[in-house]
Amino acid sequence: MGDEPRWLTGAEMGTWLNLTQILMLMPTALDRQLRDEASLPHTHYHILSALSSSADRSMRMTELARQAGTTTTRLSHAVASLEQRGWVVRKACPTDKRGQIAHLTDAGFAVLAAAAPGHVAEVRRLIFDHLTEEDVARLGAITAKIVPVLNDRS
Q: Can you tell me the distance from the alpha carbon of 7 to that of 128, in angstroms, rounded to the nearest whole number? A: 31
- Read off the pLDDT of each residue in 20-38 and give the average, rounded to a whole number: 95
pLDDT of residue 3: 84
What are φ and ψ of residue 99, in 5° steps? -85, 155
Domains in the chain (CATH in brackets) are 38-151 (1.10.10.10)
- Read off the pLDDT of each residue in 16-44 and give the average, rounded to a whole number: 95
What would the pLDDT profile of 46-99 be if each residue is shown by its tens digit? 999 999 999 899 999 999 998 888 888 999 999 999 999 999 999 998 887 788
- Read off the pLDDT of each residue in 9-13 and give the average, rounded to a whole number: 96
pLDDT at 110 over 60: yes
Q: How many CB atoms lie within 10 A of CB 146?
A: 10
pLDDT of residue 154: 47
Q: Can you tell me the distance from the alpha carbon of 114 to that of 27, in angstroms, rounded to the nearest whole number? A: 20
CB 41 within 8 A of CB 35: yes
What are φ and ψ of residue 70, in 5° steps? -140, 175
Mean pLDDT of the chain: 93
Q: How many CB atoms lie within 10 A of CB 50?
A: 18
pTM value is: 0.86
What are φ and ψ of residue 74, in 5° steps? -65, -40
